[in-house]
Amino acid sequence: MTATVLILLSAIVHAIVNILTKRAEDKYAIRLLMGGFAATLVFPALFFVPLPQGDVIYFLIASGMIHAVYELLLVKAYENGAFSAVYPIARGTGPLFTALGAALFASEDIGWIKGAGILLVCAGVIAIGISHRHAKGAHLGFAYALATGLTIGVYTVVDASGVRAAEDPLTYIVWFWIAHGLSVLFTAPSLRGRAILREARREWRLGLLLGVLAIVSYCAALMAFRLGATAPLAALRETSVLFGTALAVIFLGETMTARRWCAAAIIVAGAVLAQI
């Protein structure tokens, strides 16, 4: 129950973070600020947690590199498609890759009921995304969103394994934000040049808010992964699509058809099955 509550909290906050990212003028600058502020905010905690050791170090290095790629692909997806299309595709394919990775590399036995729930969640969110296929730039946005889903699956397995490998879960959680912040800090200016730094200075307030929200969202997810199985919890986290879609309708003026609401109901049903 604790893991379920934590992952639902993560889902809600995650949807808010991504809606605010979509609304930003320079989305990559906002993601840079988010990562930088998150690392700065958790930095004092480094003096109160043990140093990462053994395999945990390698998990942290891998996680930082994967998240840097994820940030780039996510921004590209938002720049080339509607939020209510690319967000469901990215988040919906993530659990598929997560389940596959958890089974192959973490030796997790999913079971057919949980597996059916994961597939329903994925089917529902992808159906929402495909319903936008005739929109301008949909094909490019779909490609970026699908690639984003792959990185989500990879970093979920890596981070879930890392937080379990650490003797103290707070060690991995705190050092994760340092690794993430450093990776984005080095990759963003190299890809976008000094212009991104000028934009970052203009948007620092939103970046600070997103940094705080990101810490809440992913720390809740990591603690949930520490307590429960990776694949079903990752699927339940994708109910963020429901919250994100509702926020897109309210704040971005995007529309929801009956078909998309049916897909949303499938997501809920799958999320319930994934927890049995």
Q: What is the pLDDT of residues 142-190, one digit of tens each?
A: 788 889 988 988 898 899 889 889 988 889 989 999 999 988 888 777 7
Nearest to 140 by CA among 74, 71, 77, 75: 77
Whether the pLDDT of residue 135 is over 60: the answer is: no
pLDDT of residue 137: 54
Q: How confident is the model at residue 249 (pLDDT cuts 50, 70, 90)?
A: confident
pLDDT of residue 271: 64
Higher pLDDT, 244 or 73: 73
Whether the pLDDT of residue 136 is over 60: the answer is: no
Q: pTM of this prediction?
A: 0.78
Ranges 86-100, 149-163, 179-193, 233-247, most confident: 149-163
Higher pLDDT, 18 or 234: 18
pLDDT of residue 202: 84
Break the chain into its structural domains and give their ranges.
2-274
Q: Which long-range contacts (CB under 8 A, 24 or more apart) does 259-264 make?
A: 259/127, 259/131, 260/84, 260/127, 260/128, 260/131, 262/127, 263/123, 263/124, 263/125, 263/127, 263/128, 263/131, 264/124, 264/128
Ranges 25-29, 95-99, 132-136, 196-200, most confident: 25-29
SS3 202: helix
% of residues, the chain, pLDDT over 70 = 89
N- to C-terminal Cα distance for the chain?
A: 12
